[in-house]
Amino acid sequence: MKKRVTKAIFPVAGLGTRFLPATKSVPKEIMTLVDRPLIQYAIDEARAAGIRDFIFVTSRGKSALEDYFDHAPELENALRKKGKTELLEALKATNMDSGAIAYIRQHKALGLGHAVWCARRLLSDEPFAVILPDDVIAAEVPCLQQMVEAHAETGGNMVAAMEVPAEKTSAYGVLDIKEDMGSVVSVKGMVEKPALGTAPSNLAVIGRYILTPEIMDNLHKIKSGAGGEVQLTDAIALEIEQSDNVYGYRFRGQRFDCGSKAGFLQATVAFGMARPDLKDEFTEFLVDLMSSRAAAQ
């Protein structure tokens, strides 16, 4: 019987330098996309997938991130007195039960693999998820939920993957496919940021993973990889060699790279236009803006 995925690691120790000066005082993960911080989208996706234990790998200067998930009695009481029930309901999604979130410090910036390894003592002999909040995915069925359902059939390790243009493969980890089964592909290799024209496929890995406990052993064994960092990709590649149990999953949805300014702006437009309370006014503004631009040219 395959074990359920009930724990997720959120690596949130990065400095967010691409968003300076904003991230000098505001953790990147609580920058808002419409009216919710990036981390809320990640948490909501995890909850929908059945995650019950949330492990945050943080660093200095992230106290605002921890405070965000705490209860705010004064604010809640003020809203209650004013009869603002809709806002109270919105706040409920930000509250986490005592003990549901654990915070682990990553004292040195040694890469994603090292960040995941930092959480090893909070995991038992069961598969776990890793969610990168920078990757925000708009999907009818949340991405991790799709993966958990597929993982119930395959077991092993699973990475979310999407098809990218050949000229952009050098920006991603790319899968070398053994067998293509539609939504799920079995993987015989992973190439991190292949040189232009050398990618084994156009199926790129993005920030959602379901991993076996053996990954932690692999992370402990491997030395620093690209950029002097411990690469999660290297630990997954070891599993391909040792156990041949790595799968890619073509998720249904649109991924936005909110770790980049352009991606964040694109996500803001897409999510704003998808909101029933905003779409009419926002769409009218965008149409007027584009018309003005066209007229000026």
76 vs 172: CA distance, rounded Å: 43
134 vs 129: CA distance, rounded Å: 15
Q: How many CB atoms lie within 10 A of CB 22?
A: 11
Domain ranges of the chain: 7-259, 263-297
Are 19 and 31 in contact by the 8 Å Cβ rule? The answer is yes
Task: Indicate the range of 4-8, 94-98, 105-109, 216-220 predicted with least confidence.
Answer: 94-98
- Sequence letter at residue 206: I
Q: What percent of the chain has pLDDT over 70?
A: 97
Distance linking the first and last C-alpha atoms of the chain = 64
Contacts of 274 (CB under 8 A, 6+ apart): 138
Structure tokens at 84: 């603002």
The model's pTM is 0.89
61 vs 81: CA distance, rounded Å: 34
DSSP 236: H
Are 282 and 38 in contact by the 8 Å Cβ rule? The answer is no
11 vs 112: CA distance, rounded Å: 7
7-259 CATH pick, 3.90.550.10, 3.40.50.11810, 3.40.47.40, 3.40.50.450? 3.90.550.10
Structure tokens at 62: 């992230």
Phi, psi of 123 (to 5 degrees): -115, 145
Residues 27-44 pLDDT 10s: 889 899 998 999 999 999
Q: Is the pLDDT of residue 49 over 70?
A: yes
pLDDT at 90: 83
What is the rounded average pLDDT for all residues in the chain?
Answer: 88
Residues 198-217 pLDDT 10s: 888 889 999 999 999 999 88
The DSSP H or E segment spanning 6 is: none
229 vs 258: CA distance, rounded Å: 22
Q: Is the pLDDT of residue 268 over 60?
A: yes
Mean pLDDT computed over 188-199 = 85
160 vs 5: CA distance, rounded Å: 15
Residues 64-98 pLDDT 10s: 878 888 888 888 889 888 888 888 888 887 877 77
What CA–CA distances, in Å, run from 16 to 30, 98, 101, 258?
11, 28, 22, 11
